[in-house]
Structure 1
Amino acid sequence: MNGKYVAGFIVIAAAIAGIAMYWKLQESTHYTPASFQKGAEIELTLIESGQPEPILVDQIEGIAAEASPLGYRACFHTPLSQAMLTETYKVYEKPTPLIAPSWFGCFDADAIGEALEKGEAIAFLSKANVSPVAPTKPAAPEIDRVVAVFPDGRAYAWHQLSPEAEQ
């Protein structure tokens, strides 16, 4: 009878330890708050010059992964209209929002992707070639920062492989 209790305790302790290790190693360890001060603002690339410039934003929060340049996510609000943005900045052709960690609740990649497909949100090139996937390899694919803007001003940013890298 005592053996059942000991075995049950071991199984429960192992399950709790496994969940804790998963959470620590997969969900939270590799992310840090993203910085948005001068020089690290949210930018969009101008149609005319092809150069990124900072845009007006507020209510911003973001994360960046230490282990991968694809781990960047941000949620914010912009007072700029979609009409003004499409006349001034480059629209991004194949936006694919990547899933954020479960604890970063403001970023819902599935909902953003669905809104982009339906035309409810518009994606813009924030900055091309933000970071190479493997900086030690010269032929490594490049990473683009993409921003999706909704009609009400809600906006989301993420990193994804550039269309050239996916070919």
Structure 2
Amino acid sequence: MGRIAVAVILLAAAVGGAFLWYTAERAYYEPVAFTPGAEIRLVPLAGDQPEAILVADVTGTDAASSPIKFRACFTTPLSLAMLTETYRNYPDAEPLIAPSDFDCFDAKAIGRALESGEALAFLSEPNIHPGVDRVVAVFPDGRAYAWHQLNAQFKD
């Protein structure tokens, strides 16, 4: 009788674990369709309205189940010097882990690059959802990444 109970418990744990993994990694996520010419925008230093920047090879994923599930990978020909002189930086950028099948986005590597100063973060869309900003990180070679993160409204 004890073996049957253990087998039922193990089976329930395995099914529950598989369900949790599926909902966190696969369910709800869909590719993002970007509008040509307005794929990625940044907020200029002299203004509050985000402006489209030059980008290529944009891929993204998002889920309607949460405003912070958005991730995107792309490239830009714009230099870090030009971006820094033109657009608002984002000092508290913290990239969030992406689903494992969206392998172009490595949040840990992006975070390390932001901490070391190798990459720079910019404000893309303030309050894209209430309490959530879109952030863009750009590397010197033109690789760039975007994600949503909670802003000061929900952080403390």
Give TM-score scaled by structure 1 length: 0.82
Query: What is the aligned counterpart of 1:42 among 40, 43, 55?
Result: 40
Instruction: Give secondary structure in 2 for the equivalent of 1:69.
Output: coil
8 A contact 1:94–1:163 mirrored in 2? no
Query: What is the aligned counterpart of 2:107 among 102, 109, 120?
Result: 109
Q: Which whole-Å CA distance do the structure 2 matches of 1:77 and 1:87 have between them?
A: 19
Q: Which whole-Å CA distance do the structure 2 matches of 1:32 and 1:40 have between them?
A: 19
Provide the residue aligned with 2:141 in structure 1.
152
Provide the residue aligned with 1:3 in structure 2.
none
Q: Which whole-Å CA distance do the structure 1 matches of 2:153 and 2:25 have between them?
A: 30
Paired letter, 1:120: E
Matches within 5 A, 1:69-148: 69-132=67-130, 142-148=131-137
Task: Tell me which structure has the larger Cα radius of gyration.
Answer: 1
Tell me how far 1:66 sits from its aligned partner: 1.5
Q: Which whole-Å CA distance do the structure 2 matches of 1:94 and 1:13 have between them?
A: 43
Give TM-score scaled by structure 2 length: 0.87
Provide the residue aligned with 1:30 in structure 2.
28
Aligned length: 156
Listed one character per residue, the Cα deviations across residues 45-65 of structure 1 (whole Å, up to 9, x for unaligned) are: 011112101111111110011
Q: Which whole-Å CA distance do the structure 1 matches of 2:52 and 2:44 have between them?
A: 10
Quick one: percent identity of the two aligned structures? 56
Q: Structure 1: where are the runs of 5+ without partners?
A: 1-5, 133-141
Q: Structure 2: where are the runs of 5+ without partners?
A: none
1:161 counterpart = 2:116: no
8 A contact 2:38–2:53 mirrored in 1? no
